[in-house]
């Protein structure tokens, strides 16, 4: 039997609504207007940063369901992931939702993992709809992966800056203008990169592998898509993924962009760009979908990238394995 | 692409750190912190009547206090991004590592949060400080006390 990397959904699966909440720096960025809500500060008047992050996810879900005029009772399955140990942001959010819940983890690729699993569950007829939500928070991620937030360490320019935000997406078979056509599930690849301050170069090979696989599986050229957008490769990984694909005769330079570079402006203090689960989610759900609706893009391939390490593995001198999952969105016009 | 080829590609793409600039900034800021410390020493000796030896402790305490305060205001990490080793090597860096860890873990309570995690970063400094002092102490004893030099 041949291996299947790409899932082409047999039934039409549509994005019904999305909700996005971001932090202060993200709302001041070039696409700041695209988000439903923003926090004034990272604490958001909560007891802990974790609670602030959880509140963001709750709000993103509330915005998403409000737009679709759906109540939580109608949601069939909730797929959620974040960057904090044991996925506690998603799980603690879910304890108030009273919905069958699956916790998922793919580091910063979790957004597409959630959409793919959700679409597959709906396509297979197991559920009639799915709600997926991811989040990341600059301060909780710093604590999880790096040093205390106020610790004075000098970060190199290749470091990324975790996006504070949460994105929720609701999908079902009910017709809308935005169809989820297919998903390509990435392999875990490791090119022996071990610098936690340079995740862009660790994740670029995974992104290249998944993009190549997707195009081959679907028999498409990069030009088929108006936009191929990677999750958080930053200014380090962006030229690398283009170069890697060029080696295989695939040129994506013309229509490739990276969410990590899209969400912030060049004068914001974010080193090589944004990262985190929320990075691909809020840029896509907030800005790119809006652009698709206004006709700027018809077909978009979202490739969310994740570095699958934790500080323990880094201290044990292991390298950083990465994964990238892709999902193809299409704008459809109904008669 | 092979892993070895990829490493070459990355090295071509990623800018190496600005070593010289970083060293210059570290020298400047680290030096200024030391000059400030010297100023404090002079102040404590001429105004408060400390001897030069006695003035060391209050000078260090003052630097530690200022560093902890700047950490609390969220300013020390910004200075450190500019200064690098210039702010981490002096005693102010030690103070910052304690204060930042204490602040970070306040949400887990004072015993298991603040007290347990306070030395998370600074603990290694203490361990190696004690080990180095022990080794030097033994060496000194052997070289000075045990060998009949003359």
Subunit contact B100:A50, Cβ cutoff 8 A: no
> Which residues in chain B are closer than 8 Å to A191, comparing Cβ atoms?
3, 6-7
Domain assignment of residue A72, yes or no: yes
- Judge contact between A328 and A300, C-beta under 8 A: yes
Using CA atoms, how far apart are residues A276 and B68, in angstroms rounded to an integer?
30
Give chain B's radius of gyration (CA, Å). 21
List of chain A residues whose C-beta atoms are within 8 Å of the C-beta of residue B77: 149-153
What's residue B87's pLDDT? 96
If asked whether residues A123 and A243 sit together in one domain, one would say: no
Residue of A219, A178, A192, A202 whose CA lies nearest to A302: A178
CA A119 to chain centroid: 15
Residues A164 and A311 in one domain: no
Residue B13 has what pLDDT?
A: 87
The answer to whether residue A1 sits within a structural domain is: no
In chain A, which residues have their Cβ closer than 8 Å to the Cβ of B99? 150
Give whole-number Cα distances, A239 to A200, A302, A330, A334, in Å.
10, 17, 26, 38
Domain of residue B147, residue span:
122-150
Least CB–CB distance from B93: residue in A152, A155, A198: A152
Tokens, residue A177: 């203008």
| Strands A299-307 and A274-275, bridge-based pairing | unpaired
Distances (CA, A) of B122 to A45, A169, A250, B116, B132: 30, 43, 49, 12, 15
Q: Name the nearest CA neighbour of A25 among A197, A268, A302, A295.
A: A268
Q: Retrieve residue A321's tokens.
A: 């394995």
CA dist., res. A62 & res. A130, Å (int): 14
Q: How many CB atoms lie within 10 A of CB A47?
A: 10
Do residue A325 and residue A188 come from a single domain? yes
Residue A126 touches chain B, beta carbons under 8 Å: no
Sign of the alpha-carbon dihedral angle for B100, B101, B107, B112: negative
Query: Which B-chain residues 109-128 have CB contacts (< 8 A) with chain A?
Result: 120-121
In this structure, is residue A113 part of a structural domain? yes
Q: Which residue ranges in chain A fall short of pLDDT 50?
A: none
Residues A86 and A196 placed together within one structural domain of the fold: no
Is residue A166 within 8 Å of A141, Cβ to Cβ?
A: no
Res. B96: pLDDT tops 80: yes
In this model, does residue B150 exceed pLDDT 80? no
Domain identity same for B61 and B83 = yes
Whether A244 contacts chain B with CB within 8 A: yes
Domain boundary among A157, A172, A187: A172
Range of the domain at A276: 178-331
Q: Is A27 within a domain?
A: yes
CB contacts of B14 in chain A (<8 Å) are 158, 198, 201, 236
> Chain A contact for B14, CB < 8 A?
yes
CATH of the domain at A107: 3.40.47.40
Among the three residues A172, A198, A224, which one is the final residue of a domain in this structure?
A172
B140's tokens: 């000194």
Q: Is residue B20 packed enough to be buried (19+ CB in 10 Å), middle (13-18) or exposed (0-12)?
A: exposed
End of a domain among A120, A152, A172? A172
Put simply, the chain B residues between 16 and 75 with a CB less than 8 A from any chain A CB are: 17, 22, 71-72, 74
> How many Å lie between the alpha carbon of A50 and the closest alpha carbon of chain B?
10
A137 in contact with B, Cβ within 8 Å: no
The number of domains in chain A is 2
From chain A, the residues in CB contact with B122 under 8 A are none
Say what the ipTM of the complex is: 0.89
Contacts with A158 from chain B: Cβ below 8 Å: 14-15
Per-residue pLDDT at B17:
86
The DSSP-derived string for A272-316 is T-EESHHHHHHIIIIIIHHHHHTTS-SEEEEEEEEE---HHHHHT
Q: Using a CB–CB cutoff of 8 Å, tell me whether A235 touches chain B.
A: no
Same domain, B105 and B134: no
Looking at the fold, whether A78 and A128 belong to one and the same domain comes out as: yes
Same domain for A245 and A323, yes or no, is yes
Q: Assess A236–B contact: CB distance below 8 Å, yes or no.
A: yes
- Let me know whether A163 and A223 are in one domain: no
Longest dimension (CA), chain B: 70
Question: In whole angstroms, what is the distance from residue B122 CA to residue B104 CA?
Answer: 14
- Same structural domain, A105 and A53: yes
Query: Which CB contacts under 8 angstroms, 24+ apart, belong to A240-246?
Result: A240/A200, A240/A201, A240/A204, A240/A205, A240/B9, A240/B10, A240/B13, A241/A204, A241/A207, A241/A208, A241/A211, A243/B9, A243/B13, A244/A204, A244/A205, A244/A208, A244/B1, A244/B6, A244/B9, A245/A208, A245/A211, A245/A212
């Amino acid at each position: 039997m041949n291996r299947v990397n790409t899932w082409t959904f047999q039934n039409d699966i549509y994005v019904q609504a999305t909700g996005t909440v971001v932090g202060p720096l993200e709302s001041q960025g070039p696409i700041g207007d695209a988000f439903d809500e923003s926090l004034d500060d990272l604490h958001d008047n909560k007891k802990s940063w974790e609670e602030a992050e959880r509140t963001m996810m709750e709000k993103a879900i509330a915005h998403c369901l409000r737009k679709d005029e759906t109540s939580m009772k109608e949601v069939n399955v909730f797929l959620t992931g974040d960057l904090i140990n044991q996925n506690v942001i998603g799980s603690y959010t879910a304890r108030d939702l009273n919905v069958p819940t699956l916790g998922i983890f793919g580091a910063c690729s979790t957004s597409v993992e959630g959409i793919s699993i959700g679409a597959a569950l709906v396509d297979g007829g197991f559920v009639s709809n799915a709600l997926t939500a991811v989040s990341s928070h600059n301060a909780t991620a710093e604590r999880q992966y790096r040093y205390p937030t106020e610790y004075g360490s000098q970060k190199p320019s290749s470091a990324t800056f975790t996006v504070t935000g949460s994105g929720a997406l609701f999908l079902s078979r009910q017709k809308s203008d935005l169809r989820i056509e297919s998903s390509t599930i990435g392999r875990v690849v490791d090119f022996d990169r071990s610098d936690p301050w340079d995740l862009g170069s660790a994740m670029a090979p995974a992104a290249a592998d998944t993009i190549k696989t997707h195009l081959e599986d679907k028999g498409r050229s990069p030009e088929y898509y108006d936009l191929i957008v990677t999750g958080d490769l930053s200014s380090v990984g962006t030229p690398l993924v283009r170069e890697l694909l060029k080696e295989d005769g695939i040129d994506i330079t013309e229509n490739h962009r990276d969410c990590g570079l899209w969400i912030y402006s060049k004068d914001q203090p974010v080193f090589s760009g944004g990262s985190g689960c929320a990075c691909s989610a809020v840029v896509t759900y907030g800005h790119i979908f809006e652009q698709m609706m206004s006709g700027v893009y018809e077909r978009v391939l979202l490739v969310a990238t994740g570095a699958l390490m934790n500080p323990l593995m880094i201290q044990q001198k292991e390298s950083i394995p990465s994964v990238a999952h892709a999902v193809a969105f299409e704008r459809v016009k109904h008669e | 692409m092979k892993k070895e080829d990829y490493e070459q590609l990355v090295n071509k793409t990623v800018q190496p750190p600005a070593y010289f600039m970083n060293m210059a900034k570290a020298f400047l800021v680290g030096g200024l912190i030391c000059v400030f410390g010297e100023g404090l020493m002079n102040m404590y000796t001429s105004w408060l009547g400390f001897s030069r030896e006695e003035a060391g402790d209050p000078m260090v305490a003052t630097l530690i206090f200022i560093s902890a305060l700047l950490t609390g205001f969220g300013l020390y990490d910004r200075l450190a991004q500019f200064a690098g080793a210039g702010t981490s090597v002096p005693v102010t860096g030690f103070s910052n590592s304690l204060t930042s860890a204490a602040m970070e873990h306040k949400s887990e309570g004072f015993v298991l949060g603040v007290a347990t995690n306070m030395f998370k970063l600074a603990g290694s400094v203490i361990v190696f400080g004690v080990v180095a002092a022990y080794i030097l102490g033994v060496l000194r004893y052997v070289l000075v006390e045990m060998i009949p030099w003359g």
